[in-house]
Structure 1
């Protein structure tokens, strides 16, 4: 699907599809979502550029993602999407910055694109004035969305860790509830790690794009928009540091949760070990008096049976008393 955004006076004109060929040539921003071959050809003929294919967008070499052909910049990076719905992933998006238009090629819809489309229609004049301005404002929206996602993810991680450690300290909490909390904490920390990793990949791609655009800004970015590059670089750098801090904290909490689980398992194993040791002497006594020898002094003894029972009870209690005095129980 192709959507074009152009500036008509101080208002935004939005057109969809191939019905209006003139809108392509007049557009400041052309957004291609899952483009058809016909839409790609229409854009290529109108702007005299090559729209990269999906296979070309998935290449990971830096030279295939960031390059210049004449006066046109081709900028590709992986972007996080779907974090709000919980079914998140990463998708490559290409920004083709031509002198007269910005073309975005994508196969998924990050929330930042939907928000930016509404914002562009509401604030048409400052945003759609130049194609490089559209691109930098779109980057700004993406950075804002990443900041919101990281903040929300950090809050979820803090809540999970507080619940886990509070219940771990409270010995009155039932074991089943503590197990559920630990399992939920592990799932939350796993999701945090996945989101922050994908967000870091997005920030790394933005860093590379901004570095490349900064090197070409004399020809690709108008003077009034060049200050935005410095602001975006600072914002991206701060988010990278924040994401790294979150990753380190998530790793620390993961080690702590695994440590709590290990302590609970050790407690269970210790209980079974004590029970096994306590039952060994009675088993030995029962084995001795279970032997079928003709000459056994206690065989015809009237008090032999109670004697054997008492001996087994005493032999079971002695290890338990010893363990308690040692502080092992």
Structure 2
């Protein structure tokens, strides 16, 4: 899908367009609107062109109208810095991985490319981070501030992404705190073993998710930091003077969030070690119980083995009270080790 954002008479005008086989299934009026959005003049007037899962025809339309090469999905997956941050003529090509889908629980990272020219910003993406939807809603309310220039659109979009990442890190930090409190409260209280095991399992899952989300958020922040550093070096020709202070603010915010994400990672690792320590203590207690039980049953087993031998001549073999006395000796031999262990404080 191709979406163009244009400011006309102080108002934001959003056009959604598609090319070829997609428009064939639309009503005639919708086909005309979609085709109009993809016209070269409309694309050149747009301050922001958003390509979501673009078709080859849509890529070709943008390339023809703006005289630039739109990177393919395979090219966006390249990890070399020279393939992600570079200049071609007057256009800057900026690619980084961005976290998305945290609210739905199906979170992942996707590569998004920003192509900045003197008049337009082109974004190429194959997923929709929530920051894009939130920025789109804000841009329609405040087109004069957010859609004044292509570089302003990009920087304000980065600002929205940073705000979104801050919310995500704040949420996962709160989830981690609740999980740790619940775990340690259950460890101190006299909770049933099954319930305690379920809570420990839930805490481990939560800590795993926190670690995964913070790692992906850190990857997004590091990608943003590289982009801002690259844009800062090119700001004399790529960024208007009134927007250059926004780069400094974004760099400070990104660095502070990177530090916060590192703190969350360290805290998650500490809590993971603590939870595993609680599990080890409980497992040791279970093993100790089995060990004491096996030691306590060794003397009775020895007596039963002796009196269970089938020799023809054995003392007390035909004694009338031999059976109850043997049972009593077994019971006493089992109680004495337990009494001794309790006296030593081992139980």
TM-score between the two structures when normalised by the length of structure 1: 0.99
Aligned to 1:195: 213
For residues 1-329 of structure 1, the aligned pairs below 5 Å read 1-17=1-17, 18-20=34-36, 21=39, 22-170=41-189, 172-329=190-347
Once the 2 structures are TM-superposed, how far is the Cα of residue 306 of structure 1 from its aligned partner? 1.2
Kindly indicate whether the alpha-carbon contact (under 8 Å) linking 1:15 and 1:23 is maintained by their aligned counterparts in 2.
Answer: no
TM-score between the two structures when normalised by the length of structure 2: 0.94
Question: What CA deviation, in whole Å up to 9, does each residue of 1:83-130 have, x standing for no partner?
Answer: 010100000000000111000000000000001111111100111110
Once the 2 structures are TM-superposed, how far is the Cα of residue 316 of structure 1 from its aligned partner? 0.5
| Mapped partners of 1:298, 1:165: distance in 2 | 58
Consecutive unaligned residues of structure 1, counting only runs of 5 or more, are: none
| Mapped partners of 1:189, 1:292: distance in 2 | 60
| Mapped partners of 1:61, 1:197: distance in 2 | 20
SS in 1 for 2:35: coil
SS in 2 for 1:206: helix
Consecutive unaligned residues of structure 2, counting only runs of 5 or more, are: 18-33
| Mapped partners of 2:165, 2:85: distance in 1 | 22
| Mapped partners of 2:158, 2:251: distance in 1 | 10
Question: What CA deviation, in whole Å up to 9, does each residue of 1:13-63 have, x standing for no partner?
Answer: 111115111321100000000001111011011110000000000000000
Kindly indicate whether the alpha-carbon contact (under 8 Å) linking 1:136 and 1:229 is maintained by their aligned counterparts in 2.
Answer: yes
Further displaced range: 296-305 or 231-240? 296-305
Q: How many residues align?
A: 328
| Mapped partners of 1:249, 1:211: distance in 2 | 29
Question: What CA deviation, in whole Å up to 9, does each residue of 1:264-323 have, x standing for no partner?
Answer: 111111111111111111000000001111221210111111110111011101110111
| Mapped partners of 1:273, 1:14: distance in 2 | 73
Once the 2 structures are TM-superposed, how far is the Cα of residue 242 of structure 1 from its aligned partner? 0.2
